[in-house]
Amino acid sequence: MEPRKVAQAVYWVGAVDWDRRLFDELIPLPDGTSYNAYLVRGSEKTALVDAVDPTMTEVLLERLRSSGVKTLDYVVANHAEQDHSGAIPRILELHPGATVLCTPKCKAFLMDLLHLPPERIREVADGESVSLGDRTLRFIHFPWVHWPETMLTWVPESKILLSCDLFGSHLATTELFPADGPALLRAAKRYYAEIMMPFRGVIEKNLARLDGLDIAVIAPSHGPMFGQPRLILDAYRNWISSAPRNLAVVAYVSMHDSTRRMAMHLVEALSQRGVRVQLFNLIGADVGKLAMALVDAATVILASPTVLMGAHPKVAEAAYLTNLLKPKARFLAIVGSFGWGGKMAEQLVGMLGSVKAEVLPPVLVKGLPKASDFAALDKLADDIGARHAALPEPGNR
């Protein structure tokens, strides 16, 4: 449980959660996660930046004991969510002279979520600095990554940006700076897709505030650090603002094989027209991989049987998720089957109002698809292929 040096006077004192497989009872964690906390030791004062999930409090305390720190002067709460703040009450018990530093909105959240006493919390303004002696903490308010109260902490003398959830990844590893850059970027993309994508507009505006910083290390609150900051900064700019790619996501459920036949035919028809496709059977699909595909996809196609006049619940869930994530897809299509009627297509389109995309004519089939139905799917593939003709290929991003 030793602290680990990240940059000059900055040490990692967090916890790796190898076994956790679900986050917020929603997000799959195939590779576990970590809860990063950082000790900044100045010549006069010492600060802990972020704390850990409450389940890992003892790990954090043991690392602090191993560091030899007797007194904490500050506890910086970049974000009030409990996986970052859960250990703060125990830290304040052990360090009665410590003051929590956070944004005004974060103060209110910490009081509500953790019942922290207000007299132990000091609000810091955007751009404000706090001296630790030969080290400085400068606070950059960065709302909506992914809550309204979030901020980043910049330590200019060490050239390290403690970025909280921004640039994070759910990846359990012993490596602070993994050598496998592509693997780290894949984990960061999954994290971005699941958590940050709905806020890409706000993030894009705020990223410019980091341009003047001479950053040597980006240290998020989940996952490994980036010793080459441009790697993750450029990736975020691509994910946020580049044009969608020549990629169609087809997500389907089939009860009696009709919708499966339609989905498979459409995948083949699209590929013959030069459209890349990612297919997801929503029974057992990894929603994280679906979210990653939505980062780049120009077209989203939902394929569903009709259940009691509406969409299959798993397809409705995918529509709800897509609407929450707000991908930059340009085109939407609904295909599926029915027995006696229903409003499945209208229901799904109504659930996707946050996705500002052109809705293509649906292809709905009564019973098993016939030759004319497959011809209608070919026509849909023609329309999508024509719209994708000028789009860049997915590539390795």
338: how many CB neighbours lie within 10 A of its CB? 20
The pLDDT of residue 341 is: 87
> Any idea which architecture 4-241 has in CATH?
4-Layer Sandwich (3.60)
Per cent of the chain over pLDDT 90 is 96
C-beta separation of 170 from 190 below 8 A: yes
The pLDDT of residue 26 is: 86
* DSSP per residue, 210-225: GTTS--SEEEESSS--
Instruction: Give 164-215 pLDDT, tens digit per residue.
Output: 999 999 999 999 999 889 999 999 999 999 999 999 999 999 999 999 999 9
Instruction: Give 4-46 pLDDT, tens digit per residue.
Output: 999 999 999 999 999 999 998 889 999 999 999 999 999 999 9
Instruction: Give 281-296 pLDDT, tens digit per residue.
Output: 999 999 999 999 999 9
Show me where the domains of the chain are located: 4-241, 245-388
The pLDDT of residue 1 is: 86
Q: Over the chain, what is the mean pLDDT?
A: 97
- CA 170 to chain centroid: 9
The pLDDT of residue 178 is: 94
Per the structure block, which two tokens stand in for 51?
């704390």
Q: Does position 157 have pLDDT exceeding 70, yes or no?
A: yes
For 186, residues 6+ apart whose C-beta sits below 8 A from its C-beta are: none
Cis peptide before 84 (omega within 30 of 0): no
Q: Within the chain, where are the H helices?
A: 57-67, 82-85, 88-94, 104-114, 181-191, 200-207, 229-241, 258-272, 287-296, 313-325, 344-350, 371-388
The pLDDT of residue 290 is: 98
Record the pTM: 0.95
For 391, residues 6+ apart whose C-beta sits below 8 A from its C-beta are: 243, 244, 245, 246, 298
Closest CA to 200 of 329, 351, 325, 298: 325
314: how many CB neighbours lie within 10 A of its CB? 18
CA distance 359 to 329: 11
Mean pLDDT of 260-283: 98
CA distance 270 to 282: 20
* Crossing angle of helices 287-296 and 313-325, rounded to 10°: 50
Using 50, 70 and 90 to split pLDDT, how confident is the model at 397?
low
CB-side neighbour CA atoms (13 Å) of 255: 15
Closest CA to 103 of 53, 44, 68, 147: 147
The pLDDT of residue 396 is: 55
CATH 3.20.20.70 for the 245-388 domain, yes or no: no
C-beta separation of 181 from 166 below 8 A: no
Q: Is 180 in a helix, a strand, or coil?
A: coil
Torsion of CA 52, 131, 218, 84, to 10 degrees: 20
CA distance 162 to 219: 5
The pLDDT of residue 82 is: 97
Closest CA to 52 of 90, 105, 106: 90
Closest CA to 209 of 146, 107, 139, 160: 139
